[in-house]
Chain A
Amino acid sequence: MSIIEAQHVIKRFDRFTAVDDISFTVERGEFFALLGPNGAGKTSTIRMIYGFSPLTSGRMKIFGLDIGADWRKIRSRLGVCQQENTLDPDLTVAQNLIIYSRYFEMDRSVARRRAEELLEFFALTGKRDAKVMELSGGLAKRLQLARALMAEPELLILDEPTTGLDPQSRHQVWDRLFELKKRGLSMVLTTHYMDEAENLCDRLVIMDHGRIIAEGRPHDLIIKHAAESVIEIDGPSEELRNYVKNHAVEHDDLGERLIIYAEPRGELESQVREKFCVESCRFRAGNLEDVFLRLTGRGLRE
């Protein structure tokens, strides 16, 4: 049984359609990502998963239960780490965890033990009596993650967990998420960081303007929509332009820069290297960013 089943889900706000007929499933134990630029409809989708926003139309089933009818049962098995800091600034670090457990009606001694474990896991034990207002962004996010895990959820929902964090904090969060993945926890993540999705997720959908425009495993998507190997050439010559046109090479011409999608160590790559790479060529592996930019266009967005 799938842990999330979304069928033809639509979310409208007045005349604006935030989520425009999307369908996807997430399997138990999977780390699934919703990837997309700001305003793509990721957060709206996430909010429908945990029953914060009602669906305009379509069906959303979590653990096989309907979110409209069984929201309370579903939410008691979910952990949600929201994008904004929703921690209680009036309470201490430890109190934040304990009070939260009460909303789930957890047994008190279980909650206390669980809080200690999580403080340990997120390296927050030393801060247990600190006021939330005194925490840095990275610490606050770790506490928010700890809080989401208090009721031992079967599914963890993460809405842009690393947005706004410094590199150290980001990696700390990633390490924890890796660890949770190893333990078999199902997770859904939204992000606009391509590397985050690529490194962490088993499978993802790319959203844009409320629609799903691609779905698959990160590596498969790279091969399908970009290439395993990418060559970037600054200030391409006419000669190179003619060459790629004549040889029907997969490429994007950005004017000042030409991007060629190739196979790693292939014929094309060596040809380009020999003939055109006198000055500035960059050889690198293809990534989700290439996929994303190719699918959604490179223009500036509102």
Chain B
Amino acid sequence: MNRLKRTDITLRFRHIWVRNLITYHRIWKVNFLVPLLEPGFYILAFGLGFSGLVGRVNYAGMQLEYTRFMAPALVATACMWNSFFETTYTSFVRMYYQKTFDGILATPVSVEEVIIAEIVWAASKAMAAVAVMLTVLIPLGYANFPGALLCIPLAFLGGLAFASIGMFFTGLIPTIDMFNLPIFLFITPMFLFSGTFFPVSGIPDWAGIFSLVFPLYHLVELTRFLCIGAMESRPLFNLAYLLLFIMVFGRLALGTMKRRLIK
């Protein structure tokens, strides 16, 4: 794979971040409606329709109301969807249809900086979405104040993880409709089996080990810890896993994207 030179990565990537922000600015009002309303829908649906069936959830030695168990996971999954979609569909459109990267690569910006800018931008967007969600969840009592505010920087970290793996797929995938594959094989099982809708401790061990591989599991655990002060795992271990995931897939994303962009 391509060599990586330290001089090829500078803070110049921030200009592309600004470019994305300006583009996003035009549609942000519509975009912010989603994180604003989404938790409401879920909580209504699960609170009214589902909690009658499940009653209370045993989690970390506590008896939790189902919606209270699930609400922090909504924050984590929103972080995942926002960042993963940004570096897959949106970056693909910029790269393939709009030729934005080709234009930028005629300026004193390196291909590595373009890729890093996309990943950091996606993480920033996830962070913004989480911040908006908290403005709903905190007043409703689903997230502790002020501790839950730490979910915002955490969303940036989680966003980097999902954005990196999304960018990795963008470097590999031949056509835009092929994104169905990683979504169906990776994102959907991760969405369901990361302690989002039921505690991982409640399922057989062999399945629980499977969950440990998913970065979402670690993000859900950390988010739950910050929102309700309880968790089944160890925060430092979760953080370390996310960091490792970012480093591995960040590097792989640079590899696949460089191979794709440099002709």
Residues of A within 8 A of B (CB): 13, 47, 50, 52-54, 71-73, 75-76, 78, 80, 82, 84-91, 95, 99-100, 102-105, 148, 151
> Given that A53-B263, A88-B23 are known contacts, is A103 also in contact with B109, CB under 8 Å in the complex?
yes
Q: What class of interface size applies to chain B in its complex with A?
A: 20 to 34
Whether B106 and A82, one on each chain, are in contact in the complex, defined by CB atoms closer than 8 angstroms, is yes
Q: Given A76-B108, A88-B23, are A103 and B102 also a contact pair (CB < 8 Å)?
A: no
Residues on B with beta carbons closer than 8 Å to the beta carbon of A53: 262-263
Q: 3 tightest A-B contacts by CB?
A: A86-B103, A80-B106, A103-B107
Q: Interface centre among B100, B103, B106, by most A CB within 10 Å?
A: B106
Given A82-B102, A82-B103, A89-B98, A104 and B23 touching (CB < 8 A)?
no
Is B22's CB under 8 angstroms from A95's CB? yes
27 A-B pairs with C-beta separation under 8 A:
A50-B106, A54-B262, A71-B110, A72-B7, A72-B110, A73-B108, A75-B106, A76-B107, A80-B106, A82-B103, A82-B106, A84-B99, A84-B102, A86-B98, A86-B100, A88-B23, A88-B103, A91-B22, A95-B22, A100-B107, A102-B15, A102-B19, A103-B12, A103-B108, A104-B108, A105-B108, A151-B107
Q: Are B104 and A103 in contact (CB under 8 A)?
A: yes
User: B197: shortest Cβ distance to chain A, in Å?
Assistant: 36
Instruction: Check A52–B22 contact: CB distance below 8 A.
Output: no
Instruction: Please measure, in the bound complex, the distance between the C-alpha atom of A54 and the C-alpha atom of B111, giving whole angstroms.
Output: 12
Specify which chain B residues have a CB less than 8 angstroms from the CB of A95 in the assembled complex: 22
Question: Could you give, for residues 2-43 of chain B, a 1 whenever the CB lies within 8 Å of some chain A CB and a 0 otherwise?
Answer: 000001000010011011001100100000000000000000
Measured in the bound complex, the distance between the Cα atoms of B97 and A89 in whole Å is: 10
Q: Are A88 and B100 in contact (CB under 8 A)?
A: yes
B105 within 8 A of A: yes
A105 CB, min distance to chain B CBs, angstroms: 7
Q: Are A87 and B103 in contact (CB under 8 A)?
A: yes
Q: Report chain A residues within 8 Å CB of B12.
A: 103, 105
Apart from A52-B263, A105-B12, list 18 A-B contacts with CB within 8 A: A50-B106, A52-B102, A52-B106, A53-B263, A75-B106, A76-B107, A78-B106, A80-B106, A82-B99, A84-B99, A88-B23, A88-B98, A88-B100, A90-B98, A99-B19, A103-B15, A105-B108, A148-B106
| Residues from chain A with Cβ under 8 Å of B98 in the complex | 86, 88-90
Q: Chain A residues with Cβ under 8 A from B22's Cβ? A: 91, 95, 99
Least CB distance, B251 to chain A, in whole angstroms: 20
Q: Identify which of A50, A54, A86, A90 contacts B99 (C-beta below 8 A).
A: A86
Which residue of B18, B23, B100 contacts A102 across the interface (Cβ within 8 Å)? B18
Name the distance in Å between B61's Cβ and chain A's nearest Cβ: 50
| Whole-angstrom distance between the Cβ of B121 and the nearest chain A Cβ | 13
Q: A234 CA to B109 CA in the complex, in Å?
A: 56
A89: B residues at CB distance < 8 A: 98
> Can you name the residue of chain B whose Cβ is closest to the Cβ of A76?
B108
**CB-CB contacts of B225-263 with A at 8 A, as 1s and 0s?**
000000000000000000000000000000000000011
Q: How far is the CA of A52 from the CA of B258 in the complex (A)?
A: 11
B46 CB, min distance to chain A CBs, angstroms: 36
Q: How far is the CB of B138 from chain A (nearest CB, A)?
A: 33
Residue of B whose beta carbon sits closest to that of A50: B106
A85 to chain B, nearest CB (A): 7
- B18 CB, min distance to chain A CBs, angstroms: 7
Most A CB contacts (10 A, CB to CB) among B19, B102, B103 go to: B103
Contacts of A85 in B (CB 8 A): 99
Residues from chain A with Cβ under 8 Å of B7 in the complex: 72
Distance of A207 Cα from B109 Cα, bound (Å): 30
> Distance (Å) between the CB of B95 and the closest chain A CB?
11
B26 CB, min distance to chain A CBs, angstroms: 7
**B20 shortest CB reach to chain A, Å:** 9
Cα–Cα, bound, A20→B66 (Å): 68
Which of chain A's residues has its CB closest to B19's CB? A99
CB of B110 within 8 A of CB of A86, answer no
Q: Assess whether A75 is in contact with B100, with CB atoms less than 8 Å apart.
A: no
Q: Which residues of B contact A99 (CB under 8 A)?
A: 15, 18-19, 22
Nearest chain B CB to A11 CB, angstrom units: 9
Closest chain A residue to B2, Cβ basis: A54
- A86-B102, A88-B23, A88-B98 given; A104·B263 CB < 8 A: no
Question: Whole-angstrom distance from the CB of B105 to the nearest CB of chain A?
Answer: 6
CB distance from A134 to the nearest CB of B (A): 15
B15, B23, B110: the one within 8 Å of A91 (CB): B23
Give the complex CA separation of A100 and B16 in angstroms: 10
A181 to B182, CA, bound (A): 52
Cα of A151 to Cα of B106 in the assembled complex, Å: 12
A90 to B102, CA, bound (A): 16
Would B19 and A75 count as touching, CB distance under 8 A?
A: no
